[in-house]
Amino acid sequence: MSSTLRFQVVGEAFKKRPVEVAEPKERPSEFFGKYVFNRQKMQQFLPASVYEKMVDVIDHGATLDLKTADAVAEGMKRWAMGLGATHITHWFQPLTEGTAEKHDGFVEHDGRGGMVEEFTGKQLVQQEPDASSFPSGGIRSTFEARGYSAWDPASPVFVMGDTLMIPTVFIAYTGEALDYKAPLKKALHAVDKAATEVARLFYPDVQKVITNLGWEQEYFLVDEGLYAARPDLLMTGRTLMGHDSAKNQQMDDHYFGSIPERVAAFMKDLEIQALELGIPCKTRHNEVAPNQFELAPIFEETNLAVDHNMLLMSLMKKVARKHGFRVLLHEKPFAGINGSGKHNNWSLATDTGILLHAPGKTPLDNLRFITFIVETLMAVWRHNGLLKASIVSATNAHRLGANEAPPAIISSFLGKQLTDVLEHLEQATDDEISLSGKHELHLGIPQIPELLIDNTDRNRTSPFAFTGNRFEFRAVGAEANCASAMIALNAAVAESLMDFKARVDRLIAQGVDTLKAVLTVVREDIKTCKPIHFEGNGYSNEWKLEAARRGLDVEASVPLVIDRYLDDDSVKMFEKTHVFTRSELLARNEIKWDTYTKKIQIEARIFGDLCMNHIIPVATRYQSVLVENVHRLQEIFPKEEARELNDNNIALIREISEHTRFITSQVTALIDARRIANRIDDEREKAIAYHDTVAPLIEEIRYHVDKLELIVDDELWPLPKYREILFIR
Ligand code: ADP
Ligand code: MG
């Protein structure tokens, strides 16, 4: 693009334009779930016996027979056609980013040369999308590239546009998962089973434990015209070059500022559409960086919450375009200002309504509370490297470890009150804790609920913080599928609860009273998991050293962190909980390394192109202007005087030469590094080469490009600058 075009685009972006504000006629309580085939619609559109069966399938995992499926499909079709749907799709979460869908029309031949609208139970329950083009890490070779998608009745179907969307798992014919949903459901099942057994030690009537997830989605908005003028944003989701804006987030004025009108209209529209799709949006606000915002719904059961997050991310993209924006979900779209994360608020709750991670009123409740806290910490301690592996990516790597997000070391912040409670339990003598039966249970730690209510003492630097009645896994990236983190966390907690229960049972078998057994094991574990507990500043350098001393995983290289999935401890844990087999883990790691490589590869190519055909030409052109000026001055001034007057010109000409020489030679080095890395066959080794030799060069060269941006005549600069992109009007 030429600079005149840049000014045009910037001018457009800053122009006051009519803002289209959605004005629904109904209240949210009335349009919530309008496009969702929820229980209320099921009751309305399904025969009573079919409805009963479906409830059993959803609530108790009963198997679905084809006759019922046919009846359900018929009801769904009637409902969906009433909303204008003409197509159905199985909607699934492959191991690439985002979601995938393959649409089929409702139409079928009627046998008399015409067509009828048809949708059968078979179509609802199972489909065979051509799986060969989705990453499988070698689970299927292409000739037997058959996988199938199968309906997940636990997540209700919904209508989007003209399509009935059916949430599904995506599995290879050999049984391995090719997606995120299948293993997530297994992990949730494992933690349900394990946690129910432990919860029953305290409350025998518990039948089921539900996992809650409340995500907080951060994102950036940029004007569509400016976005289109930045090939790097367009192709990679982040700016690969761009000098700091003089003003960015240092005034802290964005966070508390009012939401710009255009953005408010976008948010309102997004919320309405999200609510109609059953996503219980609640919170919206500005974030720290300019143009950065957050949306959070009320927490839900994790499987549903994950689907809703995936749905919201695609909805955001769609609604943003309607308002002349592009939404950036990249974890670090702009250097020098905050990136975007997605805090995962996580907790366990019983079917009887007890929040297992929240303190209660009685000593028994509090022993249960401490048990679930400590066993969660045990899981995080044992698998801290794996939990990090569950959230790393080429894009999130730019955010982790920068002074804005949790560091690339997993630790847990508990706050002063809970820390005191654990210390007390660890150190108390047996006399201080009496355990002569349930009613006389006395922990010597009165008033836990009162103490914890005011747990506002938030440590923003902690990747896994306790926040009163839940843990907040903050290291998750904005763009990520939450399922990745939720699979690892829930499976690890399931393992830790299974292990806990086994040890308690052993003591009980020796004749120890149940609660005494619980307390004994908890007190043991408080000691064991201590290294994961860290209240200090996670950004500090001392913490890195201290964490290494404590035996925590401090590796920061993404391809190496991914190795943690294949550690013996991880494989054993995933096998024991029936979440992954070793071969699935191997296959998925191949995909992770390959994805990492491709991301850096694309960045390196776009970056090299931009350097050579955007930056070097304008820098050279500006340099020629300066050279021309040198000659002109020499023509009209006496030699000595001209030399003096040209001092500045010459210095600039030299500086430009230095930068352009560096850029040109290092872009060549970048191409060479890529070429060498591309010759490596092993996916892991290739990713390591990209990490070690390609990625750092981009950052090195970028420094010089950003310097040139400060020198070269603004009239010539082709790419919209940070100050132009970052302040929506
Ligand atoms: P923050 O101060 O971190 O923004 P919020 O109160 O806005 O906290 O909550 C953030 C998210 O955490 C929301 O999605 C909320 O519903 C969810 N949340 C609240 N309590 C729990 C809980 N016990 N378990 C899981 N998520 C929860
Ligand atoms: Mg939060």
Of 31-45, 54-68, 246-260, 408-422, the poorest mean pLDDT is in 246-260
Residue 440 has pLDDT above 70, yes or no: no
pLDDT of residue 143: 42
Q: Look up residue 203 and give its two tokens.
A: 């409350």
Q: Which residues are 177's β-sheet partners?
A: 171
| 255, 299, 372, best to mutate for ligand 1 pocket (most atoms within 8 Å of CB) | 299
Q: 473 C-alpha to center of ligand 1: Å?
A: 11
Residue 218 alpha carbon to ligand 2 centre in Å: 11
User: Measured between alpha carbons, how far is 538 from 462 in angstroms, rounded to an integer?
Assistant: 6
Mean pLDDT on 329-338: 94
What separation in Å is there between the alpha carbon of 436 and the centre of ligand 1? 37
**What does residue 172 show for φ and ψ, rounded to 5 degrees?**
-75, 155
Given the structure tokens 């998991």, which residue do they identify? 529
Contact 92, 99 (CB under 8 A): yes
- Residue by residue, DSSP assigns 224-293 as HHHHHT-HHHHHHSS-S-----SSSSTT-HHHHSPPPHHHHHHHHHHHHHHHHTT--EEEEEE-SSTTEE
**Arithmetic mean of pLDDT over the chain:** 91
Q: What is the DSSP string of 126-162?
A: EE--BGGGS--TTSS-GGG-BEEEEE-TTS--EEETT
Could you give the CA distance from residue 317 to residue 579 in angstroms, rounded to a whole number?
32
**604 CB under 6 A from ligand 1?**
no
**Which of 210, 211, 213, 216 best tests ligand 1's pocket when mutated (most atoms within 8 Å of CB)?**
216
In whole angstroms, give the CA distance from residue 543 to residue 270.
Answer: 41
pLDDT for 438 beyond 60: no
Amino acid at 579: V
Q: Which residue has the higher pLDDT, 444 or 622?
A: 622
Q: How far apart are CA 154 and CA 157, in angstroms?
A: 9
Taking residues 88-96, report their average pLDDT: 91
Quote the ligand 2 centre to 465 CA distance (angstroms): 10
Whether 251 lines ligand 1, by a CB cut-off of 6 Å, is no
Distance 346 CA to ligand 2 centre (A): 11
Q: Quick check: CB of 212 below 6 Å from ligand 1?
A: yes
Residue pair 138/156 in contact by the 8 Å Cβ criterion: no
Say what the pLDDT of residue 175 is: 85
Contact present, 273 and 315 (Cβ < 8 Å): yes
Contact between residue 431 and residue 439 where contact means Cβ atoms under 8 Å apart: no
Q: How far is CA 694 from CA 268, 604, 650, 668, 713, in A?
A: 42, 7, 34, 11, 30
Check pLDDT > 90 for residue 404.
no
Q: What is the pLDDT of residues 69-84, one digit of tens each?
A: 999 999 999 999 999 9
Tell whether the model's pLDDT for residue 713 goes beyond 70. yes
User: Per-residue confidence at 350, pLDDT binned at 50, 70, 90?
Assistant: very high
Query: How confident is the model at residue 103, as a pLDDT?
Result: 80
SS3 401: coil
Q: What is the rounded CA–CA span in Å between residue 541 and residue 332?
A: 22
DSSP, collapsed to helix, strand or coil, labels residue 325 as strand
C-alpha 523 – ligand 2 centre gap (Å): 29
Pairing of strands 464-466, 281-286: unpaired
Alpha-carbon Rg for the chain in angstroms = 29
User: Does residue 513 carry a pLDDT above 50?
Assistant: yes
Name the most confidently modeled range: 239-253, 449-463, 639-653.
Answer: 639-653
Q: Is the CB of 470 under 6 A from ligand 1?
A: yes
- End-to-end alpha-carbon separation of the chain, Å? 23
Structure confidence at residue 561 (pLDDT):
97
The ligand 1 atom at the shortest distance from the C-alpha of residue 294 is: 4
| pLDDT confidence of residue 437 | 45
Gap from CA of 399 to ligand 2 centroid (Å): 17
What's the token pair of residue 432? 């201080």
* Position 208 confidence tier, pLDDT thresholds 50, 70, 90: very high
Could you give all domains of the chain from N- to C-terminal order, each with its CATH number? 32-178 (3.10.20.70), 188-580 (3.30.590.10), 595-725 (1.20.120.1560)
Q: For ligand 1, say whether the CB of 296 is within 6 Å of any of its atoms.
A: yes
For 532-553, what is each residue's pLDDT tens digit?
999 998 888 899 999 999 999 9
Give the ligand 1 atom nearest the CA of 296: 14
Ligand 1 mean position, distance from CA 345 (Å): 6
Q: What is the pLDDT of residues 149-164, one digit of tens each?
A: 999 999 999 999 999 9
Q: Is 344 in the pocket of ligand 1 (CB under 6 A)?
A: no
Indicate the pLDDT class of residue 3, thresholds 50, 70 and 90: low
Share of the chain above pLDDT 70, in %: 92
User: Hey, is 200 helix, strand or coil?
Assistant: helix
Determine the average pLDDT of the residues in 5-34. Answer: 87
**CB of residue 411 inside a 6 A radius of ligand 1:** no
Name 328's bridge partners. 220
Neighbours of ion ligand 2 (CB under 5 A): 343
Neighbours of 39 (CB within 10 A): 14
Q: How far, CA to CA in Å, does 205 sit from each of 212, 228, 351, 727?
A: 20, 59, 9, 56
At residue 25, the pLDDT reads 83
| Residue 511, Cβ density class (10 Å: 0-12 exposed, 13-18 middle, ≥19 buried) | exposed
Pick the closest to residue 492 from 601, 388, 403, 631 (CA basis).
388
For residue 289, is pLDDT > 50? yes
**Bridge partners for 464 per DSSP:** 412, 473
Greater confidence (186 vs 286) lies with: 186
What pLDDT does 379 receive?
98
pLDDT tens, 369-381? 999 999 999 999 9
The DSSP annotation for 664-699 comes to HHHHHHHHHHHHHHHT--SHHHHHHHIIIIIHHHHH
Q: Which atom of ligand 1 is nearest to the CA of 214?
A: 14
Residue 407 pLDDT? 73
What separation in Å is there between the alpha carbon of 206 and the centre of ligand 2? 29
CB of 279 within 6 A of ligand 1: the answer is no
Model pLDDT for residues 355-365, shown as the tens digit of each residue: 999 998 888 99
Q: Which two tokens stand for residue 180?
A: 């995120």
Which segment of 234-238, 249-253, 439-443, 625-629 scores lowest on mean pLDDT?
A: 439-443
CA 144, CA 156: separation in Å to the nearest integer? Answer: 31
Query: What is the rounded average pLDDT of the residues 427-440?
Result: 62
- Stretch 197-211: mean pLDDT, rounded? 97
Whole-Å CA distances, 93 to 3, 149, 488, 632: 41, 10, 17, 64
Average pLDDT rounded to a whole number, residues 87-102: 88
Run of H or E including 209: strand 209-223
Residue 212 CA: nearest ligand 1 atom is 25
Residue 515 confidence (pLDDT) above 80: yes
pLDDT surpassing 70 at residue 165: yes
Mean pLDDT for the stretch of residues 173-183? 91
Q: Which amino acid is at 430?
A: D
**What is the rounded (10 degree) CA torsion for 691, 310, 330, 3?**
130
3-state helix, strand, coil in the chain (%, to 5): 55, 15, 35
Atom of ligand 1 nearest to the CA of 283: 7
100-143 tens-digit pLDDT: 887 888 878 888 888 888 889 999 998 887 666 677 776 655 44
Mean pLDDT of 40-55: 95
- Are 260 and 726 in contact by the 8 Å Cβ rule? The answer is no
Residue with tokens 């003209």: 162
